[in-house]
Chain A
C-alpha cells in the first residue's frame, strides 16, 4: 500500500457518516496529505480494522514522539472507527494543535463533534478542512447536514449540490453522491416539493441500490403522492437492504 500520500485516508471517513448506517470501505480519492512513513504500518492496521493493535502501536510511538500530531490523529482514528467519539475527540484536538496543516484531522474531528452533538464546533472543523482541502466533497456534505439541523435549507442545498458536483465524475464516489441526493430528497420533503424529492431519492437509489434509508424516504414520498404500488416496492427494497446491512454488521445477540 502506497501511503506516501494520504490519498486513501479520507476513504475511511465513511465510517463516520451517519447517512446510511452502513459504513464500509472507502472508495474515493481525496486531496493528498503526507503521512510520516513511520506511521504507515499503523495506518495499515487501522485500514485492516486491527484497531487494538494499531492503538498499542501508536501509543508506543507517542511515548517516543509526544508532539506528533499525525500519531494523535491515528490514535483518534482508532476510536473513531469504533464510534467512540468522546475518546477520539481529545486526540483529534491535539492533532490539530500539533499539526495544524494536516487537513484530514479536521474532517474526522468534524464528524466526531457532529456525533457528540456539538454542532458549532463541528461546523468550524469542517470549514477548516475545506479551507485546507477545498475540493473535499464530504465536508460540504457534512456542512449541508449541519445546515439542515439549523433549518438553513438554502445553505444546505448549496452544500449538497457542491458535494455532488465535486464527486459525481468520480466512479469511486457514487455512494457519496447518492447520499447527497438522498439529503436533497429530505430537503425537498421539508419544502413540500414531493416530486422533486422523489427524483432525488430515485437518483440516490439508482446510484447506490443498497441505500435503504433512501428507499424508506422514497416509500413515504410515494405514499403521499398516491402511488401505493411503487411505494410498496420501495418499502420492500428498504427492508431487503436494511436486513442485509444488519446481517453484515451482526445483529446483537442479547442487547442493542
Chain B
C-alpha cells in the first residue's frame, strides 16, 4: 500500500468535510473561467501495460464481443481511486486467460500492477465489476461476473483479497455481465444484483446468422436468455438468492447487459433498472418488504418512443431536466438511436432523445459505456459515450456503421447537447477504436473528471481531463453508524444549491460492466464560493449542510 499522501487525508469538521482546496499538486494550473473540454490520452506513461483479452480478434462468437469491465476501487483506503480490470480469455480455454488485474493508483496518473501482491488469481473469463463493502468492514470489496462462476473477492485491509465466493453463496455459473451493489431492503447492508446474458456453450458455439445481408456471428436471438439474480445480504458474510421471492422472476428472462440501482421515485427504496439487449428493458420497482414489481412497460422506460425494443448497453444517470428525478440515458445498436428517458415524476418516463439533440446523430454508432459528468466544470453535465460495432464485418457500406468508431462527446449547451469534434477535445476522441467499458472519476485529484476506457482486445487508456482549473466540488459520503454497512452511502441523492443554481447527483456504481467513482462531482459557475447541500441517504433520511466550500473534496458523514 502506498502511504497516505497529504492531499488524500481527511479531517472531520463539523460536517465532516475534508477541505482540500487547490490540492492539485504538480498538475495545478492557473484557474480559468472558460469552459474547456479536452482530454489527453495516456498510455505507456500510466504503466497500465495491459492488452485486454476477449477471445480472438476479430471476434467470431457473441461471447467475445462484450469485452471486460472496469472498476474504480480505493482498495488501500489512501483516498485515491485504484483500478480493477476484468479480463477475458479465449473460446478454447475460457477458464484460463491471462487474468484480471488490479492497479494501484500511485498519484500523477501513474499506476502499479499489484495483482499478485493482492493475491488475486482470477483467470476465468471475467466480464463485469461491482465495487462495494459487502461485509461492512470499511473496505471496498470486488464482485466480478464471469462466463462461468462469478467471484466475490473480500478486501482484507492489508492489501490482499480473498476469494470468498463459496462461503458467500454468490458463485452463480451462468454468463454474468453487469452487476451492482445497493441496499434494496434498507437494512443497512449492501445487497447485490447480477445481470445474466444468455446460454452459450463455448465448446459447441452456435452457427452463423445474418445482419443486413452479411453473414455474422449468432445471437442474441435464437440463444436462450437468462434470468437475472437478486441476492439479499444476510449480514453475516453470506447472501441468499431472493430473485423469485422478490418478484424478479415475474419478468421474462432477458439478454441483460447493464444495471443500475437507485431510487427512481424518491420513496426511500432502491429500484433496479436492467438494460437488455434486443428486447424491452426492466424496471424493478421496489415495493418494500423485499418485493419488486416489474414496471418497465408501464412506466415507459422499457422501449423507445415508438415502442421499439432496443439493444441497451451503457447506462448513465443525470437530472437532465432539473425536475429532481433521475433521468436515464442508454446507448444502443447501430441504425437505431441512443435514448434519453426523462423521468416525469418518478413513475413515468418519456423518450426525449430528440428534444435534447441526442437522437439522429447517433444512428451510425453502436454504443457501450457512457457517463454524464461536468467535464468542463461549467455547472452542467456533459455526456461522453464509447462506441464500436459488435460485428467485425461492419463497414458503412455493409451495415451503415463501421466496426471501429469514435467516441461521442456532447457538451451541454442550454436546453440541448451539442456534439464536440474539434481537435481541442483530444485526438483520442476523434480516432476510431473498439472501446467498451469505461469508468469516470477524478484520478489525479485536480478537480476534474478523468476517464479510463478499455478497448476490446486492445489497451487500457487513461484520458486525462486537461481542464486548466475551474470551479468544482466533490462529495464522498460516509455512513459509519454501527447499524450501517453501506458506508459509502450507495443509493444516496445529493442536492447542491447556490445563487441562481442547483444541481443533483446520485451515488451509484452500476452501468455497463463497470463501477464508477462512488462519489458525487460537481462543476460550478466561477463565481460560486460555497453551496448549501442536502443529502438524502438511501433510506430517505435527510441531512442538510448550510455551507460547503468549493474547489474542495468533501467527505460528509451521516449524522
Q: Are A255 and B210 in contact (CB under 8 A)?
A: yes
Q: Are B221 and A254 in contact (CB under 8 A)?
A: yes
Instruction: Using known A-B contacts A86-B397, A220-B300, determine if residue A253 contacts B307 with beta carbons closer than 8 Å.
Output: no
Q: Are B211 and A256 in contact (CB under 8 A)?
A: yes
A82 to B212, CA, bound (A): 8
A223 interface residue, CB < 8 Å from B? yes
Would you give the 0/1 interface string for B163-187, flagging 1 where the beta carbon is closer than 8 Å to chain A?
Answer: 0000000000000000000000000
Q: Are A254 and B363 in contact (CB under 8 A)?
A: no
- In the complex, residue of chain B having the shortest beta-carbon distance to the beta carbon of A190: B355
Instruction: Using known A-B contacts A190-B355, A254-B206, determine if residue A235 contacts B306 with beta carbons closer than 8 Å.
Output: no
| Stretch in contact with the other chain, from B9-17, B44-52, B346-354, B525-533 | B346-354
A84 interface residue, CB < 8 Å from B? yes
A101 to B380, CA, bound (A): 47
A115 interface residue, CB < 8 Å from B? yes
B492 shortest CB reach to chain A, Å: 29
Which of A83, A223, A242, A253 interacts with B222 by CB under 8 Å? A253
How many B residues touch the partner, as a band?
35 or more
Interfacial chain A residues near B399, Cβ < 8 Å: 84
Q: Are A254 and B207 in contact (CB under 8 A)?
A: yes
8 A Cβ contacts from B187-231 to A:
206-213, 216, 218-223
Q: Are A115 and B211 in contact (CB under 8 A)?
A: no
| Stretch in contact with the other chain, from A8-16, A24-32, A169-177, A211-219 | A211-219
A195 interface residue, CB < 8 Å from B? no
8 A Cβ contacts from B332-354 to A:
333, 335, 344, 348, 350, 352, 354
Q: Are A256 and B350 in contact (CB under 8 A)?
A: no
B362 interface residue, CB < 8 Å from A? yes
Would you give the 0/1 interface string for A141-185, flagging 1 where the beta carbon is closer than 8 Å to chain B?
Answer: 000000011110000000000000000000000000000000000
Interfacial chain B residues near A85, Cβ < 8 Å: 400
Interfacial chain A residues near B396, Cβ < 8 Å: 86
Q: Are B212 and A151 in contact (CB under 8 A)?
A: no
Instruction: Using known A-B contacts A115-B335, A212-B307, A254-B222, determine if residue A189 contacts B363 with beta carbons closer than 8 Å.
Output: no
Which of A86, A114, A213 interacts with B307 by CB under 8 Å? A213
Interfacial chain A residues near B220, Cβ < 8 Å: 256
Q: How many residues of A contact B (CB 8 A)?
A: 39
Which of B208, B335, B356 interacts with A83 by CB under 8 Å? B335
A186 to B359, CA, bound (A): 15
Interfacial chain B residues near A150, Cβ < 8 Å: 357
Which of A149, A215, A220, A255 interacts with B219 by CB under 8 Å? A255
A228 to B297, CA, bound (A): 13
Q: Are A255 and B397 in contact (CB under 8 A)?
A: no
A238 interface residue, CB < 8 Å from B? yes
A135 shortest CB reach to chain B, Å: 26
Interfacial chain A residues near B300, Cβ < 8 Å: 220, 223
A19 interface residue, CB < 8 Å from B? yes
A255 to B206, CA, bound (A): 11
Q: Are B415 and A151 in contact (CB under 8 A)?
A: yes
A135 to B220, CA, bound (A): 44
Q: Are A151 and B360 in contact (CB under 8 A)?
A: no
A119 shortest CB reach to chain B, Å: 5
Q: Are A19 and B306 in contact (CB under 8 A)?
A: yes
Chain A interface mostly: helix
Q: Are B354 and A151 in contact (CB under 8 A)?
A: yes
B242 interface residue, CB < 8 Å from A? no
Instruction: Using known A-B contacts A116-B364, A186-B305, determine if residue A149 contacts B359 with beta carbons closer than 8 Å.
Output: yes
Would you give the 0/1 interface string for B302-316, flagging 1 where the beta carbon is closer than 8 Å to chain A?
Answer: 010111100100000
B558 interface residue, CB < 8 Å from A? no
Interfacial chain A residues near B398, Cβ < 8 Å: 84
- In the complex, residue of chain B having the shortest beta-carbon distance to the beta carbon of A254: B222
Q: Are B363 and A116 in contact (CB under 8 A)?
A: yes
Would you give the 0/1 interface string for A238-250, flagging 1 where the beta carbon is closer than 8 Å to chain B?
Answer: 1000100000000
A235 to B210, CA, bound (A): 31
Interfacial chain B residues near A216, Cβ < 8 Å: 303, 306-307
A117 to B344, CA, bound (A): 27
Interfacial chain A residues near B303, Cβ < 8 Å: 216
Would you give the 0/1 interface string for A42-56, flagging 1 where the beta carbon is closer than 8 Å to chain B?
Answer: 000000000000000
- In the complex, residue of chain A having the shortest beta-carbon distance to the beta carbon of B213: A82
A117 to B355, CA, bound (A): 15
8 A Cβ contacts from A1-23 to B:
18-21
Which of A19, A119, A215, A253 interacts with B360 by CB under 8 Å? A119
A223 to B364, CA, bound (A): 33
Q: Are A151 and B416 in contact (CB under 8 A)?
A: yes
A254 to B344, CA, bound (A): 37
Q: Are A117 and B348 in contact (CB under 8 A)?
A: no
B278 interface residue, CB < 8 Å from A? yes
A251 interface residue, CB < 8 Å from B? yes
Q: Are A238 and B222 in contact (CB under 8 A)?
A: no
Which of B210, B222, B223, B348 interacts with A224 by CB under 8 Å? B348
- In the complex, residue of chain B having the shortest beta-carbon distance to the beta carbon of A186: B305
Would you give the 0/1 interface string for A65-105, flagging 1 where the beta carbon is closer than 8 Å to chain B?
Answer: 00000000000000000111111000000000000000000
Which of B218, B356, B362 interacts with A254 by CB under 8 Å? B218
Instruction: Using known A-B contacts A84-B400, A86-B396, A216-B307, determine if residue A255 contacts B352 with beta carbons closer than 8 Å.
Output: no
Q: Are A84 and B212 in contact (CB under 8 A)?
A: yes
B541 interface residue, CB < 8 Å from A? no
A87 shortest CB reach to chain B, Å: 5
Q: Are A190 and B222 in contact (CB under 8 A)?
A: no
Q: Are B360 and A117 in contact (CB under 8 A)?
A: yes
Q: Are B360 and A189 in contact (CB under 8 A)?
A: no
Q: Are A217 and B221 in contact (CB under 8 A)?
A: no
Q: Are B357 and A151 in contact (CB under 8 A)?
A: yes
- In the complex, residue of chain B having the shortest beta-carbon distance to the beta carbon of A232: B298
Interfacial chain A residues near B219, Cβ < 8 Å: 254-255
B547 interface residue, CB < 8 Å from A? no
Q: Which of A84, A148, A253, A255 has the most CB of B within 10 A?
A: A255
Would you give the 0/1 interface string for B288-308, flagging 1 where the beta carbon is closer than 8 Å to chain A?
Answer: 000000000110100101111
Pairs A–B under 8 Å by Cβ, sample size 9 = A18-B306, A86-B396, A116-B363, A148-B354, A149-B359, A190-B355, A251-B221, A252-B209, A253-B221
Question: B interface vs A, CB < 8 Å?
Answer: 206-213, 216, 218-223, 278, 297-298, 300, 303, 305-308, 311, 333, 335, 344, 348, 350, 352, 354-357, 359-364, 396-400, 415-416
| In the A-B complex, the 4 residue pairs with the closest CB atoms | A216-B307, A254-B222, A255-B209, A254-B218
Question: A interface vs B, CB < 8 Å?
Answer: 18-21, 82-87, 114-117, 119, 148-151, 186, 189-190, 212-213, 215-217, 220, 223-224, 235, 238, 242, 251-256
Known A116-B363, A213-B307; further 15 A-B contacts with Cβ < 8 A:
A82-B213, A83-B335, A190-B355, A213-B308, A216-B303, A223-B298, A235-B297, A254-B208, A254-B209, A254-B218, A254-B222, A255-B209, A255-B211, A256-B220, A256-B311
